[in-house]
Amino acid sequence: MLGIIGAMEVEVRTLRESMSDVEALTVAGMTFYKGTLEGKEAVLVRSGVGKVNAGLCSQILVDRYRVEGIINTGIAGSLKNEVNIGDIVLSTTAVQHDVDAVGFGYQLGEIPQLGVKEFPADAHLLEVALKCCREANPDIQTFTGRVASGDQFVNSREKKQWILEHFDAYCTEMEGAAIAQAAYLNRTPYLVVRAISDKADDSADMDYSAFEAKAVEHSVRLIRAMLRAL
Ligand code: ADE
Task: Compute, in angstroms, the gap from residue 153 CA to the centroid of ligand 1.
Answer: 5
Task: Compute, in angstroms, the gap from residue 40 CA to the centroid of ligand 1.
Answer: 30
pLDDT value at residue 207: 74
77 lines ligand 1 (CB under 6 A): yes
pLDDT value at residue 58: 98
User: What percent of the chain is helix, strand and coil (3-state, nearest 5)?
Assistant: 40, 30, 30
Task: Compute, in angstroms, the gap from residue 172 CA to the centroid of ligand 1.
Answer: 6
Question: Which tens digits make up the pLDDT trace of 7-65?
Answer: 778 889 989 998 999 999 999 999 999 999 999 999 999 999 999 999 999 999 999 99
Report the relative pairing of strands 142-149 and 2-6 from DSSP bridges: unpaired
Which candidate, 185, 227, 178, 180, places its Cα nearest to that of 2?
A: 227
Extract the runs of DSSP E, i.e. beta strands, from 8-130. 20-27, 30-37, 40-46, 69-78, 88-96, 119-120
Question: Which tens digits make up the pLDDT trace of 118-162?
Answer: 999 999 999 999 999 988 889 999 999 999 999 999 999 999 999
Question: Which tens digits make up the pLDDT trace of 71-92?
Answer: 999 899 999 999 999 899 999 9
pLDDT value at residue 10: 83
Q: Is 105 exposed, middle or buried (0-12, 13-18, 19+ CB in 10 A)?
A: exposed
pLDDT value at residue 208: 72
| This prediction's pTM | 0.95
173 lines ligand 1 (CB under 6 A): yes
pLDDT value at residue 202: 86
Does 178 have pLDDT greater than 90?
Answer: yes
pLDDT value at residue 41: 97
Question: Which tens digits make up the pLDDT trace of 184-221?
Answer: 999 999 999 999 989 999 887 777 777 878 788 888 89
pLDDT value at residue 20: 96
pLDDT value at residue 213: 80
45 lines ligand 1 (CB under 6 A): no
How many whole angstroms separate alpha carbon 9 and alpha carbon 76? Answer: 15
Q: Which residue's alpha carbon is at the smallest distance from atom 2 of ligand 1?
A: 76
DSSP label at 3?
E
pLDDT value at residue 167: 98
Say if CB 68 and CB 188 are below 8 A apart. Answer: yes
In this prediction, residues 160-175 reach a mean pLDDT of 98
Question: Which tens digits make up the pLDDT trace of 98-128?
Answer: 999 999 999 999 999 998 989 999 999 999 9
Return the C-alpha torsion angle 211, 216, 217, 222, nearest 10.
Answer: 140
154 lines ligand 1 (CB under 6 A): yes
How many whole angstroms separate alpha carbon 187 and alpha carbon 168? Answer: 26
pLDDT value at residue 76: 93
**Which domains are seen in the chain, by residue range?**
2-229 (3.40.50.1580)
In this prediction, residues 153-179 reach a mean pLDDT of 97
Catalytic residues: 11, 198
- AA identity, residue 185: L
Helix (H) or strand (E) holding 185: helix 176-185
